[in-house]
Amino acid sequence: MTFLEKVQYKLPYWDGLFIHDFLSYLSPLGKCQKSEITLNKSNNNFFPITSILFTKSDTPQVSFFLSDGNSLTVSVTNTTNAVKNSPHRYSHLSLREFIKRITTSKLRSIDHTGFNLPYFEGIHPKISELREKFKNVCLYHTFPKHLANAPWDFILPGTVEEIIGKTFVDYSLNRKPKIEIVSFDKSSTPLIQFDIQLEGKYKDWVRIFPEGIFDQKMSNIWVYLKNDFGTDICFVLNEFHNDDWSFHFAKDRLI
């Protein structure tokens, strides 16, 4: 009865002030211990657990830990040798400046974390490997085609019984935090995102964060943080609401 127990984002331990501010800002959404935050789950019986750890490494990584002790680690880097600029205009903002500007919008929840691996010839081979290795040990889904025909994979949190097929998956439940895995052809810069929900309005954030990327259709803003990782790190700002969108995935589980 093996299942995906934990997904851990490993960010390089490069700046003590950045780490302090990062963990302090997200602390309402999880439990902090030393240089790691373990995010709260919408249901205590759901797996995988998601955490963010600052550690001594040269590049950002994401590690997938199975309940049987095995694991797989993915480097969030550009392995294509290609250079491609993003079609979107944005500039990076210091984390301290971001926190200073966002103080009027209370942080309420995190819908998903995610990472983008640059690749320009179909699906990234590492993502194909993740699909095969983990489709039977977690609630692994491709993105619903009725929403967009895009290479955005999602792991939904679920109970062990749901994962191993003893019970049906109830897609009406609130399932947070999800994990997004993207094969990325827009840019050669890898990306790690934290999709957060706050009290406040999209129209106000447009004014507050002119450096960001505005998604008017989804009413969210991508704010990119200065870092020394060689990877884009961003907060995706969304208006807080109580409902969830896991029901869209009901026909898209990989098994």
Task: Give the pLDDT confidence of 56-78 residue by residue, as tens digits.
Answer: 988 999 999 999 999 999 999 99
Q: Is residue 1 scored above 90 in pLDDT?
A: no
Q: Given CA atoms 52, 57, 61, 64 in this order, what sign does their dihedral have?
A: negative
**Mean pLDDT, residues 72-100 taken together:** 97
| Global confidence as pTM | 0.97
**Mean pLDDT, residues 3-9 taken together:** 98
pLDDT at site 131: 98
Q: Quick one: pLDDT band at residue 178, thresholds 50, 70, 90? A: very high
Q: Could you tell me how far CA 174 lies from the centroid of its own chain?
A: 16
Q: Quick one: pLDDT band at residue 14, thresholds 50, 70, 90? A: confident
What angle (nearest 5°) sits at the alpha carbon of residue 52, between those of residues 214 and 68? 125
DSSP string, the chain: ---EEEEEEEEE---HHHHHHHHHHHGGGEEEETTEEEEPPSSTT-B-EEEEEEES-SS-EEEEEETTS-EEEEE-S--S------SS----B-HHHHHHHTTTS-EEEEEEEEEEEE-SSSS-HHHHHHHHHHTTTSEEEEPPTTT----EEEEEPB-HHHHHTSS---TTS---SEEEEEEE-S-SS-EEEEEEEESS-HHHHHHH-TTSEEETTTTEEEEEEP-SSSSEEEEEEEE--S---GGGGTT-B--
Q: Given CA atoms 23, 26, 27, 30 in this order, what sign does their dihedral have?
A: negative
